[in-house]
């Protein structure tokens, strides 16, 4: 890595053509990183109208929010992707099953992992009438993000919330 350019594997449950804040933010970030000469491999759930292709994994709907599709694949598949693509850094943008599989695969290969925190999923459980799961979700989010080198956040307020 002498050129200063990175080969980044981006793992996300949401990405264009989906339309939401996280997908649009990640799409713009990838455009900017590519414009700066970095190489980005996006691994995400396949939408129902998309043909199978490299980097697209199986998807299933979130039980309390069916518009959101979660990705699912075995960590071995991601290990193969990271090795074949010669990933230097893994950025996991979402904490779902796809993100956790990527965390396992990257750790197996000794790759540095960075996450980003975009959505207060633990708060969703209150909104959807499942408050008992909020504490479990917070514990999971803490475990997930603490297992990586760094977590990127969109604001100082988010940073402060995560420290509590």
Domains of the chain: 7-159 (3.40.50.2000)
The per-residue b/e assignment along 131-162, b for 16 or more CB within 10 angstroms, e otherwise, is eebeeebbeebeebbeebeebebeeeeeeeee
Q: Give the per-residue pLDDT at 130.
A: 73
User: What contacts 149, CB < 8 A, 6 or more positions away?
Assistant: 112, 113, 114
What's this model's pTM, rounded to 2 decimal places?
0.88
Looking at residue 26, its pLDDT comes to 95
Above 60 in pLDDT, residue 37? yes
Q: How far apart are the two ends of the chain, measured CA to CA in Å?
A: 37
pLDDT in tens, 133-157: 877 888 888 899 989 999 988 888 8
With 70 as the cut, is the pLDDT of residue 1 above it? no
In terms of pLDDT, which residue wins out, 117 or 161?
117
- pLDDT at position 153 is 82
Q: Chain-wide mean pLDDT for the chain?
A: 88
- Cβ neighbours for 43, distance < 8 A, ≥ 6 positions apart: 9, 10, 11, 12, 55, 56, 57, 71, 78, 81, 98, 102
Taking only the tens place, the pLDDT of each residue in 44-90 is 999 888 888 889 999 998 776 777 788 999 999 999 999 999 999 99
């Amino acid at each position: 890595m002498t050129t200063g350019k990175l080969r980044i594997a981006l793992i996300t449950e949401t990405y264009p053509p989906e339309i939401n804040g996280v997908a649009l933010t990640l799409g713009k970030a990838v455009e900017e990183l590519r414009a700066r000469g970095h190489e980005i491999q996006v691994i995400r759930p396949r939408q129902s109208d998309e043909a199978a292709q490299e980097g697209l994994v199986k998807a299933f709907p979130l039980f309390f929010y069916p518009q959101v599709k979660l990705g699912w694949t075995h960590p071995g598949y991601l290990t193969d992707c990271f090795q074949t693509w010669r990933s230097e850094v893994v950025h996991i943008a979402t904490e779902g099953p796809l993100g956790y599989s990527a965390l396992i695969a990257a750790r197996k290969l000794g790759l540095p992992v960075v996450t980003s925190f975009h959505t207060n999923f633990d708060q969703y459980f209150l909104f959807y009438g499942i408050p008992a799961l909020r504490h479990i979700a917070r514990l999971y989010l803490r475990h997930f993000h603490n297992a990586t080198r760094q977590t990127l956040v969109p604001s100082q307020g988010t940073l402060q919330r995560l420290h509590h």
